Structure 1
Amino acid sequence: MALHALLGHSALLKLSTSFNGQLLSSSSSSPSFAAHPGNQSFSKKQFVVFSRKISGLYEARRIRRERELQVVKKDRKGPSLRRGEVSPPLSVPDHIPKPPYVGSNILPEIASEHQIPDSDGIAKMRAACELAARVLNFAGTLVKPSVTTNEIDKAVHRMIIDAGAYPSPLGYGGFPKSVCTSVNECMCHGIPDSRQLQNGDIINIDVTVYLNGYHGDTSRTFLCGEVSDALKNLVKVTEECLERGIGVCKDGAPFKKIGKIISKHAEKYGYSVVERFVGHGVGTVFHSEPLIFHQRNDEGGCMVEGQTFTIEPILTMGSTDCITWPDNWTAVATDGSPSAQFEHTILITKTGAEILTTC
């Protein structure tokens, strides 16, 4: 379950463009010329030519994104996403242990401690994450035209409590459901309701379970019926971004490498990375430091062996700006462009990262 990025923490990032291994900063008031190998400097003419190439590249990406979005809107004949009827929260048996935030509508603060479980804790994390992965796989089998997101929520809720676990989103800061279901232009934190899924929709299902005192957190974007090639590609590239983000993780690696490689891959296909939502530490606490930024950033800090956190990039075809519905949760793209998201909980090892949310 993604967190809102903290304003001021890394909201405004310096845009830089790389050439021959050097950086040209767009934040400076006057052009600076990067040193060329061989201690030769760029001439002003060379800089202008290079700048035009970069401007042309961004323009080409913008045009491609607009054309792709037009195809998606043409294929999707249905109206923009609208709120359906939200049924009351489902009950959880008293014998199932609940996270400490249950019973309060106050959104918990982000814990400052990085979560590094001991061997027993890692075993419990693996169990919680394996359950979350199984639940997510099951939820995906329910995605088909005419099924409501509320029906998905009920089925997920039942599977989680039958396993003796608690659905972590339920009651978190007042969230009224057991799973997040974000359809089409909903970037994140969609609340299940009476809306029926339509042929051609895409839907992100975000599952988190609380088992034996530990949270396991994962999400995936599923295709509903016959989906356009443009949307299929968005979903495919988003999953690839998650895989590449995990691929740079290991003990001692800078956290900022995650955002760099995700942004690079997304931009290759003309997509934008949503900056507003971030990954997070997870374990006995649902959300903690470190915050994982999925876009290029200059945040400090390095990964430590034994650390557990989520990576959960959101990619969009259009604007990264979103508005939050009056329910204080549902975040929808301002321009109506579709988005996709994938998420895993990982464990940092000496030489890489172990994906915990698998089954």
Structure 2
Amino acid sequence: MIHLKSALEIDRIRASCRIAAEAMLRVEEALAPGVTTLHLDQIADRYIRSQGAVASALGYRGFPRSICVSVNDEVVHGIPGDRVLQEGDILAVDIAVKKDGFHGDMNVTMKAGCVPPKAQRLLDATRQSLEEGLAACTPGQRLGDIGHAIQSYVEARGFSIVRAYCGHGIGRNFHEEPQLLHYGKAGTGRRLQNGMVFTIEPMVNEGEHETRVLDDDWTAVTADGKLSAQYEHTVAVTNDGPDVLSRFADLPY
């Protein structure tokens, strides 16, 4: 069952996204070689709590931290800890927030210092693939149109789309229907309707799309050890086009 959101509910989700985006900015400002991923988690958690909100990830199905930080070949669900970031690392920072009963979710891949050209190309392609998916979020389109737009863009640039993880509906629950694949065939899947709210969060690999999960039962890494990147926004489908709830004119995301 997909719950179509009212204007009030969409505003509540946007408010949670705003806190996530502000926390993201504080993480990015603190990011530098020599910093631990746990330090970044603590910065985000402190800010989220200061806004009277909670981190959606903390305790979710036993996840032990407030944000996910996935470094280099880590695809998703990286657990912040004592890992010290090195010059040239890339890290996907996933921040989700719950405030006043509603969740908002976003992800940005950041850089520790200067990164090699191949990593920058991966980041650029991943970020633009998200834009390609967002552009397809209009009533009458289908979920498969979004996945097809993302996959086509990514594969044309020699990268691959992770298939093991997907976007999801969001609102009163952290994860709701519909599930949104970042690959697929145009003209397939559920038709988009005004009031749908979901995340689009393509994970793009430098090499093959296969992944495996580490012994911590959370961190997914690329099977071939090559780099992975991710960007994510929460978006509402409206009759006026996509309303990106986690994007703000005064913030870089």
TM band (smaller chain): over 0.9
Shift of 1:115: 3.0
Q: 1:59 — aligned with what?
A: none
Report the equivalent of 2:10.
122
Pairwise CA distance, 1:288: 1.1
- The equivalent position to 1:151 in structure 2, one of 35, 39, 42, is 39
Aligned runs of 1:21-170 on 2, under 5 Å? 113-170=1-58
Does residue 204 of structure 2 align to residue 315 of structure 1?
yes
Does structure 2 retain, via aligned residues, the 8 Å contact 1:115–1:282? Answer: no
Counterpart contact for 1:262–1:295, Cα < 8 Å: yes
1:205 to 64, 88, 93: 93
**In 2, Cα distance between equivalents of 1:200 and 1:306:** 41
Post-superposition offset of 1:120: 2.1
Q: Unpaired runs of 5+ in structure 1?
A: 1-112
Give, in angstroms, the shift of residue 197 of structure 1: 0.4
Counterpart pick for 1:350 among 236, 239, 247:
239
Task: Mark the structure with the bigger radius of gyration.
Answer: 1
1:96-120 per-residue CA deviation (whole Å, 9 max, x = no partner) reads xxxxxxxxxxxxxxxxx32322232
| Post-superposition offset of 1:267 | 1.3
CA distance in 1 between counterparts of 2:78 and 2:43 reads 17
Indicate the percent of aligned positions where both proteins have the same amino acid: 38
Q: TM-score, normalised by structure 2?
A: 0.95
Q: Take 1:316 and 1:270, find their aligned partners in 2: how far apart are those partners?
A: 10
1:226 is displaced (CA, Å) by 1.4
The amino acid that maps onto 2:240 is T
Q: Distance in 2 between matches of 1:134 and 1:330?
A: 25
Structure 1: 4+ residue segments shifted above 6 A: none
Higher alpha-carbon deviation: 170-179 or 316-325: 316-325
Letter in 2 for 1:337: K
Matched, 1:219 2:107: yes
SS in 2 for 1:277: coil
Q: Please name the residue that 1:266 is paired with.
A: 154
Equivalent position of 2:251 in the other structure: none
Question: Any idea what the Cα deviations from partners look like across 1:298-340, whole Å, max 9, x if unmatched?
Answer: 7521111011100000111112111111211100111101000
1:290 aligns with 2:178: yes
Q: TM-score, normalised by structure 1?
A: 0.67
Maintained 8 Å contact 1:183/1:190: yes
What are the Cα deviations for residues 131-164 of structure 1, in whole angstroms up to 9, with x where unaligned? 1111112211222100000000011000000000
SS of 1:340's partner is strand
| Helix, strand or coil at the partner of 2:75 | strand
